[in-house]
Amino acid sequence: MEGIEPVIHITTACNHRCLFCSRKGDPPESPEEIIEILKNFKYTITIEGGEPTLSKKLFSLIRKAKKEKVREIMLVTNGFSLDRQENVRKMTAAGVDVFNFNFPSHIEKIYNLLTGSKNFRKTVSAIKNCIDIAGPQKTRLTMVLNSMNYRFLAAYAGFVKKEFGKIFYCEINMIKVLGSVRKRTWLVPKLADMAPYLDEGFAAFKKLGIKFVSDGLPLCFMKGSEENNIDACMAASGGLFSASEKAHTPLCTKCLLKKFCPGPRKDYISLYGCAEIKPCRNAQYASSVKKRLKNGQY
C-alpha cells in the first residue's frame, strides 16, 4: 500500500522498459494482502503493475473490488491492448472507473526512447479510445518529468489539448531516484534548470484550460501554480502530506509556506543537495498562496 490511496501491484510483467521506472522489484501483493486492502479501503483502489493489463488476474481483482463495494477503481496503464476498442469496453464493463495513462512525451521519438518501445501511436489510440468510450472525465495522463522531456512541457500541453480535448486532468510528477533510475541519474534534471520550463508549461496548461496537478516539486518551483501541488492541496484541506519520500531542508525552516510544502524529494537532495531551494519570505505573497489554496482552484 502507498500513501492514503492503496496501490495493488498485480504483476511485475511489463511490455515496456521505461528508463524512468521507479518500481523496486518488490513482488505483487499476496491474495491475503489484497483481501485485507479491499476490506479496509472503500474509496479508491489503484491497480498497477508492471503493466496490469498483462495479468490474467485483473478481471478477477476488479470483480472482488466491486463486490467489496470499492467506490472507485483506477487502472494505471501504458495502454497495452487498449488501442482495441473492444478491450476498453470490457474494462469499463468489468468496473474500471478511471484509466491513468503513463504518457511521458508527446514527441514520438522521445516517447519510444523513454519507454523502450515503439508504441507511441498505439498509446495515443488507446487514450482516445478511453476518452470516447469511458469518457474524458475517466481518463487522465501522467507525465514523469526527466532530463529528456521537461523542456517540452508547454508543447506537451498543446498536444494534449489538440489530441485529447477535455481529458480529466494531467499529473506532472518529478522523477524518482528509485528502481532503474538509480543507475541512470543522468535522467534527473536539476530544479533550477527546469524552473523556466515549468513556469512556461504550467502557464500553457492554464491558458488551454487543462486541469493538472503535480507531485514531487517543492512550492518554490511552482510559483503561481502552488494550488496545483498535490501536497499543498492536501495540507490546505486539513489532510496530511504524502511526504514519506520528501523532507524539509535547512533552507525550508524559515519558509512561510512550509506548512503546505513537505520540501523536495529526499532522493533529489541526496543527489544534488538543497542549495537551489528558495524559501518564501514574502508575507504578502504567502497570503495570496494561502487564499488560492483555500479556494481549491486546482
CA dist 133 and 221 (Å) reads: 37
- List strands edge to edge, sheet with 139-145: 7-9, 44-48, 72-77, 98-102, 139-145, 169-174, 212-215
Cis bond leading into 50, ω under 30°?
yes
Tell me the C-alpha distance between 108 and 156, whole Å. Answer: 12
**Regions of the chain with pLDDT less than 70:** 1-4, 25, 240-243, 296-298
pTM of the predicted model over 0.85: yes
Q: Return the domain boundaries, the chain.
A: 7-215
Per-residue model confidence (pLDDT) at position 175: 98
Mean pLDDT of the chain: 93
What integer pLDDT is reported at residue 127 of this predicted model?
Answer: 98
pLDDT tens per residue, range 128-153: 999 999 999 999 999 999 999 999 99
Whose grid coordinates read 495540507?
Answer: 235
For residue range 18-28, list pLDDT tens digits in order.
Answer: 999 998 767 78
Contact yes or no for 3/37 (Cβ under 8 A):
no
| Cα-only R_g, the chain | 19
Q: Please write the tens of the pLDDT for every residue from 281-291.
A: 999 999 999 99
What's the rounded Cα separation, in Å, for the pair 190 and 198?
12
Fold of 7-215: TIM Barrel (3.20.20)
